[in-house]
Amino acid sequence: MVKIGPHGRVVEDYTVFDDEHPTVIIMHAAVGSGHRSAAKAVAEAFEILRKTNGSVPDDLRVEFLDVLELGRIRFDGDKTASSFTGPLRPYYDITWRYTLTGRLLWGGGTAWSRIMFPSFTQHVKTVKPVAIVATHITAANVAVGARMLSGQDFPVVCVPTDYETEGMWPHRSTDLFCVATEHMAETLRPRKVPEECIRITGIPTRAGFSQDYDWESTRVKFGLPLDKKVVLVLAGAHLPQPYVRFRSALDQMIPYLHLFSEMQMVFIAGRDQEYAAHLRREKEERGLDNMTVLDYVEDMAALMAVSDIAICKSGGLTVTECLCARLPMILLGKAYGQENINVRMLTAAGAASHVTTYRELMVELRRILRNPQVVEAMLLNGGFIRRPNAAVDIALAALDLAKQDVPKTDPRRKKHFLHFYLGGKPAHVR
């Protein structure tokens, strides 16, 4: 099936249905791949529920939208995101965690919808959704604005895809925040989000990441040895720019891979053919039998399940997939903004280690070889954060909210053109 968005644009592989069918809209923004992956997981959860326990009505339709496809002015979200990974990184970091920006909040309003997204507002008037689930700040604010402008009454569920929430989510207009940890809830409370509007669900991932796989046959499928520890190097980049420093550190480590003969280093290059060719040249020229190079992997969940440790960046969806797959992590490189938050949370919990240079990475790999209990501790601690049923829990929460009547006097239904305000001091600021 092909989903046709407003103005006849093909948006995703779901179908837009007319207003005779109750519809849940799942919205993301194509800014990197994490927001889309989380939204996709929630969309798939509705279908899982429909097939397993009948909690989803047969006539309920799920619509999957990239909010940037519907803007009056089209811009590339990936390029915009990449601009914050160069010289602007320190400034981006400031917007996340310092006291002033931690207290300056966006309460929800219609300005952004009026200026940039009138087509989505019209779409909402036509479809009359029973609920909207948003995995990106832009999508969440556009959903709230469309609700105000259309005069409709449907719940908006916000799903941050990192391990902290920033100030531009529509705090006072959101019916439910589905967050990953109690740590995040402690940031929402000073921002005047009522307790009943916070639920700790975890970050949604596809169901495959929590499945069990046959260890031996899966390793054979990927051409991996049965007698070595498999180190999965997640270097495939949806956006190349954020991975420049990450890949540079890996390049510096490659000449020393022969020192780790007990490990099979499996580099995932993704769809970046140039980078994959570079890795294969390095492997051949240096004669590295313990180095494997894979392109885009369809069944990443299975590969994670039979690996022993991952070397990765600290993106929210990446680390959550590792947690769900019970795959301990070494987080490589300096982190800014939301990725800085992810590093702090995971290392504080003892669910991952963090290194910034290739030398530190080599030391950490030696430590793991000599002390297997390091990995065992990461697995144990990661279990306290791991929430593999997050997508289903979020889908169920959205359905429950859709059945509730919210009084028109509820502050979350108040209409604003612009609404900035100061909250209390967040629990976690620098």
Positions of E strands within 201-254: 229-234
133 vs 339: CA distance, rounded Å = 23
Contact call for residues 291 and 283 (beta carbons, < 8 A): yes
- Residues 6 or more apart in contact with residue 30 via CB below 8 angstroms: 36, 66, 68, 69, 77, 78
Angle at Cα 79 formed by Cα 71 and Cα 169, nearest 5°? Answer: 55
Using pLDDT thresholds of 50, 70 and 90, give the confidence band for residue 239. low
- Phi/psi at 229 (nearest 5 deg)? -75, 130
State the pTM of this model: 0.91
Q: What is the pLDDT of residue 86?
A: 62
Using pLDDT thresholds of 50, 70 and 90, give the confidence band for residue 302. very high
Query: Which tens digits make up the pLDDT trace of 318-365?
Result: 999 999 999 999 999 988 888 888 999 999 999 999 999 999 999 999
Rounded mean pLDDT of 273-295? 96
Which strands sit side by side in the sheet containing 23-28, from one edge to the other? 61-66, 23-28, 131-134, 156-158, 176-179, 198-200
Query: Which tens digits make up the pLDDT trace of 30-88?
Result: 887 889 999 999 999 999 999 887 788 888 999 999 999 998 877 665 566 655 556 66
Query: Which tens digits make up the pLDDT trace of 120-135?
Result: 999 999 999 999 999 9
334 vs 380: CA distance, rounded Å = 25
In this structure, which amino acid lies at residue 348?
Answer: A
